Amino acid sequence: MAMLSVLFLLSPAFTQSHQHSGKATDTAQAQSTPAPEADPQPARDADASPTVSYHAPTVFTLRTGIATGRMVYIGVGGDIDGQINPTLMVHEGELVQINLINGEGAEHDVVIDQYAARSSIVVGKNASSTFSFTATKVGEFSYFCSIAGHRQAGMEGLIQVMPGQRAAMDTDAADIVRDPADLPGPIGQRPPQVVRVDLETVELTGRLDDGTTYVYWTFDRKVPGPFVRVRVGDTVEVHLKNAADSVMMHSVDFHAATGPGGGADFTQIAPGEEAVVTFQALKPGIYVYHCATPSVAHHITSGMYGLILVEPEGGLPQVDREFYVMQGELYTVEPFGTQGEMEMDYDKLISERPEYFLFNGSVGALTKSHPLYANAGETVRIFFGVGGPNYTSSFHVIGEIFDHVYTLGSVTSPPVAGVQTVTVPPGGATIVDFKIDRGGHYVLVDHALSRAERGLAGYLIVDGPENDDIMHAGPAKKAAE
């Protein structure tokens, strides 16, 4: 089922205007527009309609049981919680996932004839089965148990498929997603110099999902924080300001720095305060930075992490496009998919039981909000890091193979060639690059694929020829006689 959910993500993403942003410092380019070598963003049809309306399946859980002397399905969770043979309401085009739990130990299943969709038969108490289908037909359809006599004994309900897409709930919450194309371009050839980096810690209510918000703690109002780019030998002067309306103290720890706390010992500041710390960029590589104020895990999970690249002398090999992606988790009191304002659950945090797995801070961040865009024939580089605070990522792009992986973020060791999936620990980072040989839609995932059902997926949308010699539907083409 996890793989089915991932395959669903291959559907076209929402089209959008795609903008770059940046901020230059007085002494050096700490943030800038993307590399000038890159072509303009691929053209997108503003009127294009996605195949489906949103990023994840509509999930219903049914438990078998006995009520009023009949065999029934009982809704579990959400709007159907406790309802007998609940009506399942979905919209046209949605991927529907139904989880069946055996509540009393007799044989049961769930069948929807009109969609040729069914679960496995579950026998033992608490045994479960999951299946999915895409709601392509509008109307009312029965779901029922196909075991002889069970439908007649009461195990039947309705699924209603309504025309049109489900409208996203409006919210005044901020868009906290860092556009993956928002990073400064390569430094190139220049001597070492002083680079000033300005960061502001800001606490704000951000959009976690459609109709769902969370109070994020951020660097510069986005998750992840700004991509910092320097070269080996630079002197990095960090000015950290804690917004006056913050509730918490904050700080910053640069894994690229050598010294007490990575700078955190000098930057523990209360709301309204400012601190400065300076360090030498001694070793090239891609490094995480994060808040290091107790509880450190709480500050990190709430969004306080980012990447700093210390380029080697002369820089990295040139590519056409660069992107910035980070993975994290959220530990909320309410379960994944609940609407409203979410609160952090400290017990789940210290027990490592997240409700959400996220790229760039929110569900749908890199599918609906800010997909990655490129053209066929281009080379792409992704700077990928894990804020965490707890889970290791198995980063993978479905349909692509990494030409080069800078293992553990090292840019002084030769990159590994021809890699399918790369392991990145919390507080770690890597760099991958690959040439895109064929147009189409590619999906960024953590190959612990159950996490895709908790928000963790992104799109790489590639304009250009869909080269049939590389892949096509149907059998191999015969060579000309």
End-of-domain residue from the set 99, 131, 162? 162
Q: Are residues 312 and 431 in the same domain?
A: yes
Q: Are residues 188 and 259 in the same domain?
A: yes
Nearest alpha carbon to residue 48 among 94, 19, 93, 12: 12
End-of-domain residue from the set 112, 127, 162? 162
d(CA 336, CA 212): 10
End-of-domain residue from the set 145, 162, 179? 162
Distances (CA, A) of 198 to 126, 243, 278, 300: 54, 13, 12, 19
Q: Are residues 432 and 334 in the same domain?
A: yes
Q: Are residues 460 and 337 in the same domain?
A: yes
Task: Give me the residues paired with residue 373 across strands.
Answer: 461
Q: Are residues 118 and 209 in the same domain?
A: no
Distances (CA, A) of 82 to 61, 68, 85, 333: 11, 14, 9, 20
Q: Are residues 333 and 451 in the same domain?
A: yes
49 falls within a domain: no
Q: Are residues 300 and 429 in the same domain?
A: yes
The number of angstroms, rounded, from the C-alpha of 204 to the middle of its chain's C-alpha atoms is: 20
SS3 11: coil
Residue 299, marked binder: yes
Q: What is the pLDDT along the chain (481 residues), one digit of tens a residue?
A: 333 344 444 433 332 223 333 333 333 334 433 334 444 555 444 333 333 333 467 889 999 999 999 999 999 987 898 999 999 999 988 889 999 999 999 999 999 998 989 999 999 999 999 999 999 988 999 999 999 999 999 999 999 999 887 665 556 799 999 999 999 999 989 999 999 999 999 999 999 998 899 999 999 999 999 999 999 999 999 999 999 999 999 999 999 999 999 999 999 999 999 999 999 999 999 999 999 999 999 999 999 999 999 999 999 999 999 999 999 999 999 999 888 999 999 999 999 999 999 999 999 999 988 999 999 999 999 999 999 999 999 999 999 999 999 999 999 999 999 999 999 999 999 999 999 999 999 999 999 999 998 999 999 999 999 888 898 889 998 765 5
DSSP character at residue 400: -
Task: Provide DSSP, 157-170.
Answer: EEEEEESSPPPPPP
- Phi and psi at residue 265, in whole multiples of 5°? -65, -25
474 falls within a domain: no
Number of domains in the chain: 2
82 falls within a domain: yes
CATH of the domain at 377: 2.60.40.420
Strands (E), 166-268: 194-209, 212-219, 228-231, 235-242, 253-254
Residue 304, marked binder: yes
Q: Are residues 199 and 116 in the same domain?
A: no
Nearest alpha carbon to residue 25 among 196, 227, 194: 196
Q: How much is the pTM?
A: 0.77
Q: Are residues 209 and 103 in the same domain?
A: no
Residue 290, marked binder: yes
Domain boundaries, position 94? 58-162
52 falls within a domain: no
d(CA 231, CA 242): 27
